[in-house]
Every structure is written in structure tokens, then in C-alpha cells.
């Protein structure tokens, strides 16, 4: 539901507009003059303004100018007659969102109102996302002094000013999204949206709608048109997280966007242009995925214009102390607890651990340690394996086993550890969700959850 301000000196037209808005579930408030409407705007918030172009005293153009001075993002829909269409077009150049020509029907009004409200929602969402992502970038700088991380930073500096498609490769938890944000905020697109889509979290149908949007009635439940992420990220950057999980059919549509810079919403034949920089991440070997036919070779080459490999934490151990101190400082600030420091034993523990969950595991562990340690010294002992790493397996059980059987055993045990939660299991094992699902189906591992694993 939206709050709509209606300004029209014709009581019949004003009443008809308010009735149509109410029938569509909106909350409309009508005024007989632009002056009264402006006073109402100054007193309370609205999501949309609908105003007649010709009114005595202050006209619709003057009302538009006054609203623009107060709220540059509030959509204004002008009602005009045939003789004033040119004036309405000029008003759009001054900031009106659209105009509607008398006489008009309820369906035409519904479409324009829905479009304007959706645009307002997207603008607000984009601003909120920009603020949140900027805050996260400030809170989580890409820290590290190891040679591997310096090489990553040099690659970021080299590519951020271009519009080249970037493929960021690395294990789960290494900071691939942080690299993507660094590229965006170092680019000329920094003031435009940076949006992220987790390709592994949605089915093929939902992911297509999420990326490209849909029209009203395109599928069951599509009660109104909706913009997709390519539209929402216009002029900015779109991060395709876990791009390897995209369905083969949708891969062809993504390839077209990358090649032709155009797409269609689901349920529409109207082609839209996309000025969006695409950054993709993967924790899988895409060349291997291409060889076995699960990923299009042409899409791989289009994504892999500039590859960036993010090293696992175990290969940059000289950065652990720096990262740990930073995460501790942030955790103390967020929790409001008294300042603390790591014990010498904790520092040794942090440096000796192999960190299968990488930087994300380190951050989560230190968050827990800061909350659970009561004294000035922060103790990480006993906290490492709480819900992050895959379960330990007795090496004696593995002797004489085929590698495939070892893999089946580890996956089954990890599924049991996480209660069958596939996303957590895949993250723990460092594989994609789709790969995990394939292996569950291959070995019937749901049954294995209910029984002791025997090999």
C-alpha cells in the first residue's frame, strides 16, 4: 500500500482518482488546489503525487517545482489534456516521473501508479544498500600484508577503473565479496548501486525473475510488475555470487546480457538495455565444470575477462594476527564490552589452526570469543570447531578406502553434523550447493543421515 497525494480542482476527477487508488489498496488523500496539496506534503510523507496540469492559482508545473525542491526522489504523475501534452513532456524534463492523458481508464492509471511507486521503492532500496555496503566496506577493509594479498590489491587497482567483467575465484569465506566491493567503490560507478545476487540460493525460475524482473501475470503470484537486479543496478555493478550454480538454460540468457547489454523481463517481449558491470564469484573450478558440461564454455570465457584469485587463509598466515586484531576491535565496538586483548596462548592457537572456513571462520570465532570471554584477556580455546569446520574423521577408518568412498563418508558425516542443512554443509566442505545436491542424489545420502554410515 502506498500513500498518494492527489491535487485536482475538478471534484469529479479527484473523487474518481481516489476511488481507483482505494480499489487498488492505496491510501489516497485529495486536495482542490496545489497550494493545499503542498501544505499537506510539508506536514506528512507521501509515496506519490498525482496532479492536474491546469489549476487556478498554483498550477501543476509550479507544484512539481516546489516538490522537487523538497524531495528530489518523490515521483510526480501529471494529468494532462491533448492541448497540453507538449507542456507535460517539458515537465518530465524538469523531474516529473510521467504523464497520463485525459480521458484514461483505470487500468492505464494502475500501470502508471505501479510503475512510479516501484521506482520510488527501488530508489529508496538502492540508497539503503549503498549506505549499508559503504558501512561494511569501512568496517571490513581488505586487510593483509602478505605477498598474495598485495598481489590481489594490485589487481584490484589495475581493473577498477575499467568496465571489464571480473571473475573472482577462491574458497568459501576468503573474502571474494569484499574484493568485488573494493572494485566497485574504486571505480567511476561508485556513486551508483552495487547489488548482489546469491545464485545458489534461488531456483532457476526465481533467479531469472530476480535478475531480469517480470511483468504482471508472468507467473502465479506475479500480481504486479517488478524490476530485476539488472534494472536496479543501472549504471552500477552487479555481483553474481556463486555463478557456477546458475542453471544451464539461464546461462544462455546471462551470456546475452554480457554480450549484447540487453534483456527482457519474464513475460515480456520488450527489450531493455543494461548499463551494468558484472562481477562474478565462484568457489569451484569452472574449467572443470566446462569439461563435464555443467557450465557453458562461451559464458566462462565472457566472465573470465579478468580473473582474480583470492588465496585461502592457510596460505597467508602472516595476515592472521592483523586480521584477528581488526576483528576483535570491531567486535568490542559492536558489543560495547570493555577493551580486551588476546592471550599469548590464543595467539598461538590462531596461528597454528588451518582455518578451513578461511577469513569468515576467523571473524565468526573472534566475535564469539569477544562475547564469551569475561576477563580482559580474550580466549579462543575450545571455540574453533563450533559449527564451521567439517567433522573430524578417524584416520583409521579411511585406510584401504577408495577416494570416492572417503568423499561419501565425509559428506554424509557433515550433513549429519548440520542436521541436513545443505548450504551450511556445502560451505563447510568448500563446495557449491549444486555439487552437494548432485552427490546427495548420487549416493542417496538422505538415507545415510538416518543410519550409521557403512562403507
DSSP string, 313-329: GGG-GGGHHHHHHHHHH
**Is residue 127 included in any domain, yes or no?**
no
User: Does 363 or 405 have the greater pLDDT score?
Assistant: 363
> How many residues in the chain?
455
CATH for 251: 3.40.50.300
Are 78 and 187 part of one and the same domain?
Answer: no
Q: Is the pLDDT of residue 275 over 90?
A: yes
What is the overall mean pLDDT for the chain?
84
Are 41 and 107 part of one and the same domain?
Answer: yes
User: How many Å apart are CA 245 and CA 286, to the nearest integer?
Assistant: 11
3-state secondary structure of 197: strand
Are 245 and 112 part of one and the same domain?
Answer: no
CATH for 53: 3.40.50.2300
Are 167 and 304 part of one and the same domain?
Answer: yes
Are 162 and 73 part of one and the same domain?
Answer: no
**Where among 378, 405, 425 does a domain terminate?**
378
pLDDT at position 135 is: 54
- Rounded to 10 degrees, the C-alpha dihedral 277/283/287/293 comes to -100
CATH for 412: 1.10.10
Answer for the pair 304, 167: CB distance below 8 angstroms, yes or no: yes
Mean pLDDT of 274-287: 93
Q: Is the pLDDT of residue 357 over 90?
A: no
Q: Is the pLDDT of residue 281 over 90?
A: yes
**Is residue 288 included in any domain, yes or no?**
yes
Answer for the pair 176, 281: CB distance below 8 angstroms, yes or no: yes
Task: Write out pLDDT tens, residues 65-109.
Answer: 999 888 888 999 988 876 677 777 777 888 888 888 888 888 888
**Where among 378, 405, 423 does a domain terminate?**
378
Mean pLDDT is highest, among 188-192, 367-371, 396-400, 430-434, for 188-192
pTM: 0.60
Domain extent for 408: 395-450
Tally of domains in the chain: 4
Band (pLDDT 50/70/90 cuts) for residue 5 is very high
Band (pLDDT 50/70/90 cuts) for residue 134 is low
User: How many Å apart are CA 3 and CA 120, to the nearest integer?
Assistant: 12
Answer for the pair 5, 44: CB distance below 8 angstroms, yes or no: no
User: Does 448 or 367 have the greater pLDDT score?
Assistant: 367
**Where among 267, 293, 309 does a domain terminate?**
309
Are 108 and 194 part of one and the same domain?
Answer: no
User: How many Å apart are CA 333 and CA 329, to the nearest integer?
Assistant: 6
| Interhelix angle 60-70/85-93, nearest 10 degrees | 10
Backbone angles phi, psi at 406, to 5 degrees: -65, -45
User: How many Å apart are CA 356 and CA 231, to the nearest integer?
Assistant: 37
Give one word for 57, left, alpha or beta, with left for phi > 0 and alpha for psi -120 to 50: left
Amino acid at each position: 500500500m502506498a500513500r498518494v497525494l492527489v491535487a485536482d480542482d475538478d471534484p469529479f476527477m479527484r473523487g474518481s482518482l481516489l476511488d481507483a487508488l482505494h480499489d487498488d489498496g492505496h491510501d489516497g488523500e485529495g486536495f482542490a488546489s496545489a497550494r493545499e496539496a503542498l501544505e499537506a506534503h510539508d506536514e506528512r510523507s507521501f509515496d506519490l503525487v498525482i496532479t492536474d496540469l491546469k489549476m487556478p492559482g498554483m498550477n501543476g508545473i509550479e507544484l512539481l517545482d516546489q516538490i522537487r525542491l523538497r524531495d528530489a526522489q518523490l515521483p510526480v504523475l501529471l494529468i494532462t489534456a491533448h492541448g497540453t501534452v507538449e507542456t507535460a513532456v517539458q515537465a518530465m524534463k524538469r523531474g516529473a516521473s510521467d504523464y497520463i492523458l485525459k480521458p484514461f481508464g483505470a487500468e492505464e492509471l494502475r500501470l502508471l501508479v505501479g510503475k512510479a511507486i516501484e521506482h520510488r521503492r527501488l530508489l529508496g532500496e538502492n540508497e539503503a544498500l549503498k549506505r549499508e555496503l559503504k558501512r561494511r566496506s569501512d568496517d571490513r577493509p581488505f586487510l593483509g600484508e602478505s605477498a598474495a594479498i598485495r598481489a590481489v590489491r594490485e589487481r584490484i587497482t589495475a581493473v577498477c577503473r575499467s568496465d571489464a567483467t571480473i571473475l573472482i575465484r577462491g574458497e568459501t569465506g576468503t573474502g571474494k565479496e569484499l574484493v568485488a566491493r573494493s572494485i566497485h567503490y574504486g571505480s567511476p560507478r561508485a556513486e551508483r548501486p552495487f547489488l548482489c545476487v546469491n545464485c545458489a540460493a534461488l531456483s532457476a525460475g526465481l533467479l531469472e525473475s530476480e535478475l531480469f524482473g517480470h511483468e504482471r501475470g508472468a507467473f502465479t503470484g506475479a500480481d504486479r510488475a517488478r524490476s530485476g537486479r539488472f534494472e536496479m543496478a543501472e549504471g552500477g555493478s552487479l555481483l553474481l555470487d556463486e555463478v557456477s550454480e546458475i542453471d544451464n538454460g539461464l546461462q544462455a540468457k546471462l551470456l546475452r546480457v554480457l554480450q549484447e547489454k540487453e534483456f527482457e523481463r519474464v513475460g515480456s517481449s520488450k527489450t531493455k538495455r543494461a548499463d551494468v558491470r558484472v562481477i562474478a564469484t565462484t568457489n569451484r573450478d569452472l574449467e572443470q565444470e566446462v569439461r563435464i558440461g555443467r557450465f557453458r564454455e562461451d559464458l566462462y570465457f565472457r566472465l573470465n575477462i579478468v580473473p582474480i584469485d583470492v588465496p585461502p587463509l592457510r596460505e597467508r598466515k602472516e595476515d592472521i594476527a592483523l586480521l584477528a586484531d581488526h576483528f576483535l576491535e570491531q567486535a568490542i565496538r559492536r558489543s560495547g564490552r570493555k577493551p580486551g586483548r588476546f592471550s599469548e596462548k590464543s595467539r598461538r592457537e590462531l596461528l597454528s589452526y588451518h582455518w578451513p572456513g578461511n577469513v569468515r571462520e576467523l571473524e565468526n570465532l573472534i566475535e564469539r570469543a569477544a562475547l564469551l570471554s569475561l576477563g580482559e584477556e580474550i580466549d579462543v580455546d575450545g571455540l574453533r570447531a563450533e559449527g564451521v569446520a567439517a567433522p573430524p574423521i578417524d584416520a583409521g577408518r579411511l585406510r584401504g578406502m577408495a577416494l570416492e568412498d572417503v568423499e561419501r563418508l565425509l559428506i554424509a558425516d557433515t550433513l549429519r553434523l548440520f542436521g541436513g542443512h545443505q548450504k551450511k554443509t556445502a560451505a563447510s566442505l568448500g563446495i557449491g550447493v549444486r555439487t552437494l545436491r548432485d552427490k546427495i542424489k548420487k549416493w542417496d545420502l538422505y538415507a545415510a543421515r538416518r543410519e550409521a554410515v557403512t562403507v
